[in-house]
A = this chain, B = another copy of it.
Amino acid sequence: MEMEMSGICGTDKHTYQGETKQYAGTPAETDTPFPIIQGHENVGIVSEITPKAAESLEFYGRPLKVGDRITMCPDVVCGQCYECKHVMGYVWCQNSECYGNSYTSAVAPHLMGGWAEQMYIRPDTFVYKVPTGLSPRVAVLAELMACTASLDKLKEFSSYAIEGFNSGDTVVVIGSGPLGLLHIAKTDMMGAGQIIATDLSEHRLAFAKRCGADITLNVSQTSPEERIAQVMELTRGRGADVVLHMANTPASFVEGIEMLKRGGMMLEMGNFADTGDVSMNIHRHICSKNIRLIGLTNHPSTGYGPALDLLQRYADRYPFEEFVSHEYALSDVDAAMQMSMSPQSLKVVMNPHLP
């Protein structure tokens, strides 16, 4: 694959800072196998392909040829473990590998990450043809958008009007980074009644409104008590129907529970890395709250097709073209990393075609 664009993800920031003991989708922490080429949110053009891959590599069985734009799931699964045999779509493989993270560049075929000009794709990779007319700037969001399959997951735990996510519901999204923003847009697509977004960046909150948020709360200008009170007021004292927790901060998880109505549903996708413990009251936050809570890591391989289709269908309604806020040449990786950690940025990507 000739690379067009490769995103910088939260994991990449940890690796860049030398925090190289990470979950690579597996229960066991592993040292990063340096040297590696980072980059796992990838979109590019088929530059060379074997006859067999041309016929059978694409996830939905569509033929591939040189010149086709493709994206890919970075996780590669074994297909043999208990999770591979029992978990539908979601990549919980006990032996999973990950492009840009767990494959070393020390041995052939070397090109196992997206911050590069060319990349090698193994035959056991989930590969998806990008719909005609979808730009690389939007297609690079496919993996993040596939994560919003979480909302279809919530629906499975729903009964009309009181449980789960139903049309007309009040939804709070805590954390308006790229993952939070796509959840705001997806929640809006799926018929939410009122969407409340929080973040510490005014820039991101303004963007949240363009993605469908009705109300925004800046966490650097309000106290948790004020935010909880505001959610209560906006819901006639009942609390939110659904809280989507998209921030990697344990304290805001508890704040989110306080915002929930009795019997409300919470999705926890934010604390994907360990940033310490938090104190909770099981009586008040869990039992008496009659909480319905789903923790969720990763995304399903079956979510890429719907993700790409929705990015195309709703191109006019949401500012998907502007999610990529900054592009950098491969030689400017240091500047790119700095920008990706700034509250002024949304999605920062590496673009090998920039000089």
CB of A144 within 8 Å of the partner chain: no
Taking a contact as CB atoms closer than 8 A, the residue among B92, B155, B262 that contacts A155 in the complex is: B155
Stretch touching chain B among A55-63, A200-208, A226-234, A342-350: A55-63
Q: Which positions 123-155 of chain A face chain B at CB distance < 8 Å?
A: 149, 151-153, 155
Q: Least Cβ distance of A138 to chain B in Å?
A: 16
Give chain A interface residues in 15-66, CB to chain B under 8 Å: 23, 27, 56, 59-61
Asked whether A273 is an interface residue with its Cβ less than 8 Å from the other chain, the reply is yes
Task: Say whether B167 contacts A186, CB under 8 Å.
Answer: yes
Is A287 a contact partner of B295 (Cβ separation < 8 A)? yes
Contact B191 A92 (CB under 8 A): no
Contact (Cβ within 8 A) A250 B296: no
One complex includes copies of this chain to the number of: 4
Chain B nearest CB, measured from A177 CB (Å):
15
CB neighbours (8 Å) of A167 from chain B are: 151-152, 186, 189-190, 306, 310
Interface string of A166-202 (1 = CB under 8 A from B): 1110000000000000000010011101000000000
1/0 contact trace for A297-325 toward B, CB 8 Å? 10011110111011001000000000000
Chain B residue nearest to A190 in the complex (CB)? B191
Residues from chain B with a CB closer than 8 A to the CB of A153 are: 160
A313 and B193 within 8 A (CB): yes
- 7 A-B pairs (CB sep. < 8 Å): A88-B88, A155-B156, A167-B186, A167-B189, A190-B191, A278-B279, A290-B295
B residues in contact with A295, CB < 8 Å: 286-293
Residue of B with least CB distance to A164: B155
The residue that A158 contacts in the complex, of B59, B155, B190, B302, with Cβ under 8 A, is B155
**A15, chain B: closest CB distance, angstroms:** 17
Cβ-defined contact, B283 with A280, below 8 A: no
Number of interface residues of A (CB under 8 A): 83
A276 in the interface, Cβ–Cβ < 8 Å? yes
B residues near A80, Cβ cutoff 8 Å: 56, 61
- A297 close to B290 (CB less than 8 A): yes
Is A290's CB under 8 angstroms from B152's CB?
A: no
Question: Which residues does chain B contribute within 8 Å of A287, judged by CB atoms?
Answer: 268-272, 295-297
A237 to chain B, nearest CB (A): 10
Q: Verify A157–B159 contact, CB threshold 8 A.
A: no
Closest B residue to A291 using CB positions: B295
**Is A341 in the interface zone, CB < 8 Å from B?**
no
Q: Is A354 an interface residue (CB 8 A)?
A: no
CA distance A81 to B268 in the complex (A): 30
How far does the alpha carbon of A332 sit from the alpha carbon of B197 in the complex, in Å?
A: 51
Contact of A88 among B159, B272, B290 (CB under 8 A): B159
**Chain B proximity of A183: nearest CB distance (Å):** 12
The 9 closest A-B pairs by CB, nearest first: A168-B306, A88-B88, A189-B191, A293-B293, A155-B155, A271-B283, A274-B283, A286-B295, A291-B295
Q: How far is the CA of A168 from the CA of B164 in the complex (A)?
A: 19
Contacts of A59 in B (CB 8 A): 85
What would 11 more interface pairs be, CB under 8 Å, given A86-B161, A186-B191?
A156-B157, A156-B158, A193-B309, A253-B286, A277-B280, A279-B279, A286-B293, A288-B295, A290-B294, A291-B295, A293-B293
